[in-house]
Amino acid sequence: MKDSLRQQLERLALRVQELDALLADPQLSGDRARYRAVAREQAQASSVVALYRSLQQREHDLQQSRELLADPEMAELAKDEATAAQADIEGLQARLQTALLPRDQDDERNVFLEIRAGTGGDESALFAADLARMYLRYAERRGWRCEVMSENASDLGGYKEIVVRIEGDNVYERMKFESGGHRVQRVPVTEAQGRIHTSACTVAVLPEPDEQAELTLNPAELRIDTFRASGAGGQHVNKTDSAIRITHLPTGIVAECQDDRSQHRNKAKAMAVLLARLRDRERDERQRKEASERRNLIGSGDRSDRIRTYNFPQGRLTDHRIGLTLYRLASILDGDLDEVVDALAAARAQQQLEALETGA
């Protein structure tokens, strides 16, 4: 292990001592949000430091075993112990390198999933519905909870736009690589000649902001409109103006919610979506400033890029960011996404590890 990584681990050990002292301070318990943040950092740092101490112990064991090799009576035992210690050291070093990779502070958050039809007209809207179903099935497989915040249906049963809130364990960590342009190649249901068409949708995965973030919005910068929610008719059709549309005037960003009969609850949900979009805008601006350094980083959030192609005639999915091609499109569209997500996460971890080793 490089000296620079050892120095980083020693600094982390000192940080654990500081965090222990903070958690012992009675004043901190009065600030629940701050206490949770410190406790989370302490738990993560302590686990890494524990690995480092185990590594140091096995390195000490290896040194002692090598010294005993000169003793004929202990040589055989020392050789076995040295072999075991060396294997443990290699394993611990690999685990430490992974543990030191920078974590996205949003990984544990819930998300707002936005899918919008792009080029391709009705076929694009139908593809948007296919993507929505894929993600909803994936969420079901992982035990996450989903709530449709707003939807704009097309004439043929697709979606011009749909926004879904997904809640569960580490949702953003698993979903963040999905932001970008998704392309489909297939024969549309509206195609009489059997020709393959290419259509596209955009997907945005936005981490849900903290509830406290609402306090940072200036009410004077918001325009709130009410309207009657659209519906299929019947006894459940909305007969009052309970749907809410909120516009952030400085940026022109709009969020709406119409799924609840309560205007108050719709307003709260629309505000949450608006905050997520504003936060994502800030994230994009920050990433653009750093684009020269991280242009190739997986999951950069650049939605102008075509990240994935779904080829129906060949039953093929290709993720262009990492050159991954899988010939099991049907199961993936049924929500079996883990192999794709795992490959993207592994590619990003490898890039981060290379940067860590070079001191970048």
Low-confidence stretches of the chain (pLDDT beneath 70): 211-216, 229-241, 286-287, 289-305, 356-360
Q: What is the pLDDT of residue 282?
A: 80
Say how many CA atoms lie within 13 Å of 81 toward its Cβ: 17
Q: What is the pLDDT of residue 271?
A: 85
Q: What is the pLDDT of residue 59?
A: 93
Q: What is the pLDDT of residue 89?
A: 92
Q: What is the pLDDT of residue 183?
A: 94
**HEC profile of the chain:** CCHHHHHHHHHHHHHHHHHHHHHCCCCHHHCHHHHHHHHHHHHHHHHHHHHHHHHHHHHHHHHHHHHHCCCCCCHHHHHHHHHHHHHHHHHHHHHHHHHCCCCCCCCCCCEEEEEEECCCHHHHHHHHHHHHHHHHHHHHHCCCEEEEEEEEECCCCCEEEEEEEEECCCHHHHHHHHCEEEEEEECCCCCCCCCCEEEEEEEEEEECCCHHHHHHCCHHHEEEEEECCCCCCCCCCCCCCCEEEEEECCCCEEEEECCCCCHHHHHHHHHHHHHHHHHHHHHHHHHHHCHHHHCCCCCCCCCCCEEEEEECCCCEEEECCCCEEECCHHHHHCCCCHHHHHHHHHHHHHHHHHHHHHCC
Q: What is the pLDDT of residue 272?
A: 84
Q: What is the pLDDT of residue 234?
A: 40
Distance, first Cα to last Cα, the chain? 16
- Complete domains list, the chain, with CATH: 3-99 (1.20.58), 111-292+301-349 (3.30.70.1660)
Alpha-carbon span 162 to 336, nearest angstrom: 21
Q: What is the pLDDT of residue 286?
A: 67
Q: What is the pLDDT of residue 299?
A: 40
Q: What is the pLDDT of residue 289?
A: 61
Q: What is the pLDDT of residue 322?
A: 94
Q: What is the pLDDT of residue 72?
A: 87
The 10 Å Cβ neighbour count of residue 360 is 9
pTM: 0.68
Q: What is the pLDDT of residue 259?
A: 75
Q: What is the pLDDT of residue 53?
A: 94
